[in-house]
Structure 1
């Protein structure tokens, strides 16, 4: 039975193990090629960020390494050392986070399940473990909120410890 107008349809033939293996091998080869292309693309990648006060510009490479540092418009001459250091660190952190997100986006297709071979579920990558938890925070969100909360928790815990043991 089944089919339109009482026609009888043959059920689709399941793929043989050899056919499934061939598809899986082809998919794995495509993934290997894609990963090699992604790695090649990222080898020459760079991200440049300017500080909020526009006094510093930092460039990082694909592994988050500092590859460039520029002091803009002589603004650094009027800045306190701590302020200049904070600007450099701010820029470097933002640039590393942006590069991390670029790496994540480049490799995202390899973390998703295969449409052709359901058994290939994609690589499971814990990006926060690789790059740190800030990489998963929304861009433009409140910077440092996680760290600030942790610091406040430690201060509270220290006060509680002293009260309980003092």
Structure 2
């Protein structure tokens, strides 16, 4: 019995160390993505927060406000999706049975509840063209 407890404690310590290492790596992680129209570049942190925004080649000067907003939202959405996948990949060994530590049952994680629908298949991570916000931005009159 003592041997089994010692083994379980060692496994728990390995998991705790692995999770701490993953958290430290993710805290410093970021993803930078350019919009499809190459007008903007956004950087997001490990929690999906916008940490950088760069307008490229002065394209924003010739874009309507709605177009520019759509470019920013599109790039930010794709960056968030990439970051969420990076987080999932990094934590995957701890969420699967027998992953990083033999005998460890794994932790069940609802990734879509955390990151939103489509995070696994790539259909999420950005506003759809028909979203209410996009419609309102697109309908703004230019002065």
User: Shorter-chain TM-score category?
Assistant: 0.7 to 0.9
State yes or no: 1:51 paired with 2:13: no
CA distance in 2 between partners of 1:28 and 1:38 (Å): 15
Question: Where do 5+ consecutive residues of structure 2 fail to align?
Answer: 133-143
By relative contact order (CA 8 Å, sep 6+), the higher-ranking structure is 2
Aligned residue runs from structure 1 range 30-109, under 5 A: 30-109=14-93
> Does the 8 A contact of 1:23 with 1:117 survive in 2?
no
| Two-structure CA RMSD over aligned residues (Å) | 2.3
1:124 aligns with 2:124: no
Distance 1:50 1:19, change over 3 A: same
Q: Is the 8 A contact 1:24 1:117 kept in 2?
A: no
2:26–2:87 contact (8 Å) kept in structure 1: yes
2:4 counterpart (8, 12, 20): 20
Give the number of equivalent residue pairs. 129
TM-score (norm 2): 0.82
| Superposition map of 1:152-163 within 5 A | none
Aligned to 1:14: none
Q: Deviations over 1:83-123 (max 9, x none)?
A: 000000001100011000000000001011237653x3101
Contact 2:96 2:105 in 1 (8 A): yes
